[in-house]
Amino acid sequence: MKNAVKISVQQHDFCLADEVSLLEQDNDSDGAVVTFCGRVRNKNLGENIHGLFLEHYPGMTEKSLADIIEQAKQQWAINRVTVIHRIGELKVGEQIVFVGVTSQHRHDAFAANEFIMDFLKIKAPFWKKELTDKGAYWLDARASDQDKAKQWEQ
Amino acid sequence: MIKVVFFAALREKLGCSELTVEATNINTVEQVKQQLIETHPQWSEHLMHSSLLSAVNNDMVSAQHQVAAGDEVAFFPPVTGG
């Protein structure tokens, strides 16, 4: 359990408090627990958004997330990692993604958490379709996400 | 045979989520794409898009990556999760 990795791609919602409890349970050595939670916001590029539809590539998604977590484990002294990503239709305000990382000290947990999110954005096969007042549109990838991930290579 | 799968906006543009192609004379991801364009000329514009990504057996790969019978080749637009 000490070095457990949990990856879940799921339609149903998750409970932040429960996920933090699992990261902390029987884990007295890790003083740092860093969590990130992404939610559906109500505006994008000036458009009013009322929801998202999320598609993924079953099998490859889980593998790519496991690869990203493994890369993080090679770079920082982290122990437990949880990544949850939701799929299907989500309304504004709903939770989309959770990344939780534990380590003895905060630096490793902060850095690894951000690294996992940055690479999830450009490597994990998820696609978002925005549901707007004018119709439903697939989101284009943003160059800024590529640039953000590249910063880890410098 | 090689299984080919498409996702998201590409799947909708092609009107197809998966199909199979004969592995004969196909050695790379690029050749899979060329084979698909030969049999479905109307897909050319979408499959030739420079931003298109490809994966073989669940690993992101380049167009020159080797493929063989039994492989699963995926084509999809840049990812936008998180």
Of B8, B51, B81, the CB nearest to A124: B81
pLDDT tens digits, one per residue of B51-81: 999 999 999 999 999 999 999 999 999 999 9
Of A59, A64, A127, the CB nearest to B8: A127
Residues of A in contact with B5 (CB under 8 A): 57
pLDDT surpasses 90 at A133: no
> Nearest CA of chain A to the CA of B82: how many Å?
5
pLDDT surpasses 80 at A86: yes
Task: For residues A3-25, give the mean pLDDT.
Answer: 96
Cα–Cα distance between A77 and A80 in angstroms, integer?
Answer: 10
A86 touches chain B (CB under 8 A): no
**Residues A33 and A102: beta-carbon distance below 8 Å:** yes
Task: Say if pTM beats, i.e. exceeds, 0.90.
Answer: yes
> Nearest CA of chain A to the CA of B8: how many Å?
6
> Nearest CA of chain A to the CA of B38: how many Å?
26
Cα–Cα distance between A87 and A76 in angstroms, integer?
Answer: 29
Decide if B80 and A123 are in contact by the 8 Å CB cutoff: no
Measured between CA atoms, the residue of chain A closest to residue B54 is: A125
**Residues A76 and A103: beta-carbon distance below 8 Å:** yes
pLDDT surpasses 80 at A1: no
pLDDT surpasses 80 at A91: yes
A83 touches chain B (CB under 8 A): no
pLDDT surpasses 80 at A3: no
pLDDT tens digits, one per residue of A23-75: 999 999 999 999 999 999 998 878 899 999 999 999 999 999 999 999 999 99
E-assigned strands of B1-82? 2-6, 18-21, 53-56, 59-61, 72-76
pLDDT tens digits, one per residue of B11-63: 999 999 999 999 999 999 999 999 999 999 999 999 999 999 999 999 999 99
Measured between CA atoms, the residue of chain B closest to residue A96 is: B82
H helix intervals, chain B: 8-14, 29-39, 44-47
Decide if A97 and B82 are in contact by the 8 Å CB cutoff: yes
Name the CA dihedral angle for A141, B60, A148, A49, rounded to a multiple of 10 degrees.
30
Measured between CA atoms, the residue of chain A closest to residue B82 is: A121
Q: Is A46 left (phi over 0), alpha (psi -120 to 50) or beta?
A: left
Cα–Cα distance between A116 and A31 in angstroms, integer?
Answer: 20
pLDDT surpasses 70 at A142: yes
